[in-house]
Amino acid sequence: MGSLRHLAAIGLALAALTAVPLPHATAAISPKVLVIGVDGLMIDRIAAADAPALDSLVATGSSSRTSLYANPMAPTLSGPGWATIATGAWPDRHGVLSNSWGANHRLTEHPDFLTRLERADRATSTYVIATWAPLVTTSAGTPIFGSEIDLRISSGGDQATADRASQHVRTADADAGFLHFDDVDAAGHSCGAAGACYRAAITAVDKRIKQVLDAIAARQTRAQEAWTVIVTSDHGHTDTGGHGGSTPGERASLIIHTGPGVTPGTPAVAPKNVDVAATVLARFGVSTTGLDGRPLGTASTDPFDTVALKPAVHEPIGVPGWSDTAPSGWRIDNTGMGTGGVTEWHGWAFTNDDFWTRTEAGQWRETNVRARGVFAVADSDEWSDRTRTDTFTSALVSPSYDVSGRTRATVGFVSHYRKEGAETATVSVAFDGGPARTVLTYAGDVLAKAESVAVAVPAGARRMTVTWRLANGDNNWYWAVDSPTVSF
């Protein structure tokens, strides 16, 4: 019976999500998007529950674990979590830092994706139906989803959310919407993410999701519609229950993405929660300029993402996640580097969020949110956790870029730097093998910043290299760099 149930659910999901117009249909295909938010849901707990609808969405779509921030950027709570998903901006920009944000926010400057759709085209039919009232009411201050949205309902309970949503998507235009279910989070607080009541809550919300998907499939205009459905969450939980901290479980979220053009499976580079808003806007042809996110499925152009990561040597971490082999054209210069120390961090290395943040929680590595996939790290602090001599001095050197005929270049990268002591962090450029010229020096912390550094190109120069150099590090923090580019 279980197999038949799963097959039936997969068939229903395919019918609800795949746009296959009838052969004789002449009407244009209309884009439709539904984002389903399941509070506190963790993707690695779905398989253990009886959840055929979610299982079928995973099987037919793109699915991935995602990672959130932690303090000091924001705690792993619902307010920051849902605001990040809704606005496509990280908490350092939208300013929602708790579950009662009052006037301490920047939601006016960073509106939710449904409000952006309304402002782009008032004819777009938008809706929010939420169990958690602060998403749509003023109980915590300005609601995360704004008043310009056509329909906003605080349902009061998960079954009421499913009932109202089913009725709405079956009968209304329902171009773009957001649903919020809360009971999985309540179960996480009650018995923990490892508990039986948490699995039971996943089963219950799965039935409600199926109810909504069935209503989509029953639409009279379904054959002329292309539906995108995204499932996501605001945070995870500890095994014993609770969230707000910086552990991997609390920082865990997910994105399941189904619909036209989606490649099934796990993406090579994990998406970010800020990508949800960008995906919805792009589906309707609305600009995503100014968002931290990018549409789901966007191919990586980051050279660091080509690095193959390997198992730990000294770090007590049970997942692969580091390399000292630079990507093609790049090199690591450890001239002046001390000896010994932790192998993984002997000079610049390459790593990912899951590996690097597990080295030591609570030291702000978790706030490196604008890095994706594999990034480069110079970590004097972790290198010093084993016996070593002298200090950390290492340079990461780019390939040679053609600057022939150019007068200016722009060096772009994502930077996450914590300074303490006498170490120096500099970016320099060199032309045609000549002396290095410093173009950027950090005098203090620079957290999760997208840098854009203008460089004057000397007359007659043909080639330029860029170097990121951390020198004289003495057990005092780190520098992470990602997504390096040179543009003109």
Q: In terms of domains, do 378 and 318 share one?
A: yes
Nearest CA among 289, 322, 290, 326 for reference residue 306 = 326
Which comes out higher in pLDDT, residue 1 or 399?
399
pLDDT at 281 over 50: yes
Residues 202 and 331 placed together within one structural domain of the fold: no
Averaged pLDDT, 48-56 = 97
Q: Are 56 and 13 in contact (CB under 8 A)?
A: yes
DSSP annotation of 326:
P
Residues 274 and 327 occupy one common structural domain = no
Tokens of 213: 């998907």
Position 298 in a domain = no
Say what the pLDDT of residue 3 is: 41
Identify whether 290 is part of a domain.
Answer: no
Does residue 288 sit within a domain? no
Of 4-18, 57-71, 117-131, 246-260, the poorest mean pLDDT is in 4-18
Look up residue 303 and give its DSSP letter.
Answer: G
pLDDT more than 70, % of the chain:
94
Q: Which helix (H) or strand (E) holds 442?
A: strand 437-442
Tell me which of 232, 252, 283 is where a domain ends: 283
- Output the domain CATH number for residue 341: 2.60.120.200
Contact 129, 113 (CB under 8 A): no
CA dihedral 116, 121, 125, 131 (to 10 degrees): 10
Among 235, 251, 283, give the residue marking a domain's end.
283
Average pLDDT over residues 329-338: 97
User: With the C-alpha atoms ordered 45, 51, 54, 57, is the resulting torsion angle positive or negative?
Assistant: positive
127 and 261 fall within a common domain: yes
Task: Indicate whether 49 and 148 sit together in one domain.
Answer: yes
Per-residue pLDDT, averaged over 137-153, amounts to: 90
Q: Half-sphere exposure of residue 82, counting CA atoms within 13 Å on the CB side?
A: 30
H-only helix segments in 304-426: 353-359, 380-383
Model confidence at 102, pLDDT cuts 50, 70, 90, reads confident
Residue 156, pLDDT > 50, answer yes
CA distances from 312 to 318, 363, 452 (A): 7, 20, 33
DSSP 80-121: HHHHHHHHSS-HHHH---SS--BT---TTTS--HHHHHHHH-
Q: What's the gap between Cα 139 and its chain centre? A: 28
Res 28: pLDDT? 83
Residue 103: pLDDT band (50, 70, 90) is: confident
- If asked whether residues 269 and 356 sit together in one domain, one would say no
Which of these ranges, 16-25, 158-167, 324-333, 453-462, has the smallest mean pLDDT? 16-25
Together in a domain, 326 and 274? no
Q: Is the distance from CB of 40 to CB of 253 less than 8 angstroms?
A: no
Q: pLDDT at position 140, please?
A: 62
What is the rounded CA–CA span in Å between residue 296 and residue 280? Answer: 9
> Of 250, 283, 316, which residue is a domain's last?
283
Looking at the fold, whether 161 and 26 belong to one and the same domain comes out as: yes
Same domain for 338 and 452, yes or no, is yes
In the predicted structure, residue 19 carries a pLDDT above the cut 50: no
Answer whether residue 289 is part of any domain: no
> What is the rounded average pLDDT for all residues in the chain?
94
Model pTM score: 0.93
CA-CA distance, 9 to 14, in Å (whole number)?
9
- 3-class state of residue 316 by DSSP: coil
Query: Has residue 292 been placed in a domain?
Result: no
Backbone dihedral angles phi then psi of residue 479, each to the nearest 5 degrees? -140, 125
Q: Which residues contact 272 (CB under 8 A, 6 or more apart)?
A: 66, 292, 293, 369, 372
In this structure, is the dihedral angle defined by the CA atoms of residues 267, 268, 273 and 279, taken in order, positive or negative?
Answer: negative
When divided into structural domains, the chain yields a total of: 2
Q: Within a domain: residue 296?
A: no
- In this structure, is residue 295 part of a structural domain? no
pLDDT at residue 27, rounded to an integer: 59
* pLDDT tens digits for range 406-445: 999 999 999 999 999 999 999 999 999 999 999 999 999 9
273 and 328 co-located in one domain: no
Both 339 and 461 in one domain: the answer is yes
Distance (Å, rounded) from C-alpha 86 to C-alpha 273? 9
Q: Please check the confidence at residue 184 and state whether its pLDDT lies above 90.
A: yes
CA distance 237 to 331: 40
pLDDT digit string, tens, across residues 190-246: 999 999 999 999 999 999 999 999 999 999 999 999 999 999 999 999 999 999 999
pLDDT at position 187: 98
Here the CATH number for the domain that contains residue 44 is 3.40.720.10
Asked whether residue 197 falls in the same domain as residue 84, the answer is yes
Whether 294 maps to a domain, the answer reads no
Which position has the higher pLDDT, 1 or 304? 304
Provide the residue type at 280 as one letter: V
Q: What would the pLDDT profile of 445-482 be if each residue is shown by its tens digit?
A: 999 999 999 999 999 999 999 999 999 999 999 999 99
Residue 92: is its pLDDT beyond 70? yes
Mean per-residue pLDDT for 90-103?
Answer: 94
What residues make up the domain containing 415?
303-487
222: left (phi over 0), alpha (psi -120 to 50) or beta: alpha
Supply angle C-alpha 17, 133, 235, rounded to 5.
65
